[in-house]
Amino acid sequence: MPRHSPSSIANEFLKRRGSSEYPSQMYIQKLVAIANGWNLAINGEPLVNAAPQAWKNGPVFRQIWDFIKEGGHKGPSCEIADPVTGQIAIAHISGSEQDIIDHVWKKYRNYTPQQLSNLTHQANSPWAYAYFEKGRNAEIDTERTRQYYIKLALAGRSNLAEEQSLSAAGRINAA
């Protein structure tokens, strides 16, 4: 069962970012959505305790939106704090969750907010189903998200195997 608030996972990325400049809300929202998707596919459960909503520019976690809107960022890494208590949201993540967050950060940290948005709301994505079938701001289905990221993982493995095979064939032909 996921134990983490969306804001606490957002803060994991903000700490890694290590900047005192306020990040784009879109950037943080999409990193959390992507990490949640990969955790569903790899660890079999959501990373966060709330489902994202299908907003115009992709998945959005309402808690992150509200906390930033109402309370903003705090601390040297611009972490997200609860606007009522002022407490910075903290996640106590497991090793496998840490691996997911590290992977997402390593792979996507240099993407622009718009590039991340484009990734998360492509045709046939969980966002597209929720947005076009259920309506704007509808909750994005967890099982659809899990299946979508499993397909991405399998496609990635297939592409990697193909690249390794071609690389090996190139070495053999060159010899």
Tell me what pLDDT residue 19 has.
75
pTM metric for this prediction: 0.87
Per-residue pLDDT for 127 more than 90? yes
Adjacent-strand bridge partners of 55 = 58
Q: How confident is the model at residue 87 (pLDDT cuts 50, 70, 90)?
A: confident
Of the candidates 10, 132, 168, the one whose C-alpha atom is nearest the C-alpha of residue 81 is 10
Tell me what pLDDT residue 53 has.
98
- Show me where the domains of the chain are located: 6-174
Tell me what pLDDT residue 65 has.
94
Which one is predicted more confidently, 2 or 146? 146
DSSP line for 78-92: TEEB-TTT-PBP---
Tell me what pLDDT residue 158 has.
53
When the pLDDT of each residue in the chain is averaged and rounded to a whole number, the result is 87
The pairing of beta strand 73-74 with beta strand 58-60 = unpaired
Contacts of 41 (CB under 8 A, 6+ apart): 146, 149, 150, 152, 153
How far is Cα 65 from Cα 59, in angstroms, rounded to an integer? 11
Please report, as a single letter, which amino acid is at residue 119.
Answer: L
Tell me what pLDDT residue 161 has.
41
